[in-house]
Every structure is written in C-alpha cells, then in structure tokens.
Structure 1
Amino acid sequence: MGLCLPCLGGAVKDVVETPDPEIKRRQLAEAAEKRQMEASSRGIKNTYSVEQKKKKQEEIEKRIAASGSGGGGGLRWQVG
C-alpha cells in the first residue's frame, strides 16, 4: 500500500497564509457594509428617488417641529 502524501516540496506551495487580523477585520467590515447596502436597496428600483423622498420628509418634519415648539400650538387642558 502506498501513502497518499504530496511530496514535501509541493506542500509548501499549497499552504494558505492567514491574513493579518487587522486586514481580516477590515475585509469583514467592508463585506458587512456591502451586504447592508444590498439589503437596504433590495426591491427598490430607483434608490435616488427614495433618498430624495427621505430628505424631503425630514425637512418637512423639521419645519413642523420648529413652528410647533415656539407657538405653543399643542392641546390645552382646562380643569374647572
């Protein structure tokens, strides 16, 4: 019976070096960001339009908050 071992000279070429932990951490972070971007845009055909709508909605909310806080336009309670 023969042994199924590669010759020692070829075994060195097959060894995969593990990257530096910092490099690996950066690669994992980049991959996570990419997955998050893909997941957030899944099902959305025009991402630019969605971004514009979000900005417009935020601007409207800011205007409402600014006008409502100074005038005291909330509900009044009267106990009598």
Structure 2
Amino acid sequence: MGICSSCFGGPSGEYSTMDAASDPEARRRQMAEAAEKRLKEQEGRGVRDPEGLKQKQKRMEELERKQAMAGGEQQGEGLRWQVG
C-alpha cells in the first residue's frame, strides 16, 4: 500500500499544495469565473446562433421600449365613450 500512496497525491501531491497556497479571495474569484462560464454555456444550449438570438432579443427590447414610450404619450387618445 505504501507504494501506491504516492500515486494518489499524498502530502507532497499537487492538490494539497495548490489548495493550501490559494487564499480565499482567489478561490472566490475562480468560483465566480466558473459560475459565469457555466451560465454562458447553458445560455447557448440548444441554440444554433447564440449571437443572433441575443441581437434579436435586444431588438425586441428596444421595440417594446419604443412602444411603451409612444403609449405613454398617447394615453388620452384612446377610444371615447359617448353617453346620451
């Protein structure tokens, strides 16, 4: 058993020195980068052209924003009820 323990990264293994040497801020930054990478990969999953999709979403948001602005100006110009 003593022969194989060096294969599993014992006290002088790369994993233990990397873990002990990294400070909490560096680990936090690495974890944040990994999370961003995962989100980006999930975002593009199932989409042929992720950039095209982003552009289309941006255009739709701009169109909705313009319609909201135009709708706010024309609030008094809706249908009128005539009574009598």
TM-score interval (norm. to shorter): 0.7 to 0.9
Moved more, 54-63 or 70-79: 70-79
Are the equivalent residues in 2 in contact too, given 1:41–1:47 (CA < 8 A)? yes
12 and 52 in structure 1: CA distance in 2 versus 1, 3 angstrom threshold: closer
- TM-score, with length taken from structure 2: 0.69
1:27 aligns with 2:30: yes
Q: Which amino acid aligns with 1:47?
A: P
Q: How does 1:33-48 map to 2 (within 5 A)?
A: 33-48=36-51
- TM-score, with length taken from structure 1: 0.72
Number of aligned positions between the proteins: 74
Work out which of the residue numbers 56, 59, 64 in structure 1 matches 2:59: 56
Return 5+ residue gaps in structure 1 as ranges.
none
State, as a whole percentage, how many aligned pairs show the same letter.
41
More helix as a share of residues: 2
Return 5+ residue gaps in structure 2 as ranges.
none
- Deviation of 1:12 after TM superposition, in Å, equals 5.3
Moved more, 65-74 or 39-48: 65-74
Q: Which amino acid aligns with 1:70?
A: E
What secondary structure does 1:34 align onto? helix
Moved more, 67-76 or 32-41: 67-76
28 and 77 in structure 1: CA distance in 2 versus 1, 3 angstrom threshold: farther
Instruction: Give every structure 1 segment of 4 or more consecutive aligned residues whose post-TM-superposition deviation is greater than 4 Å.
Output: 73-79
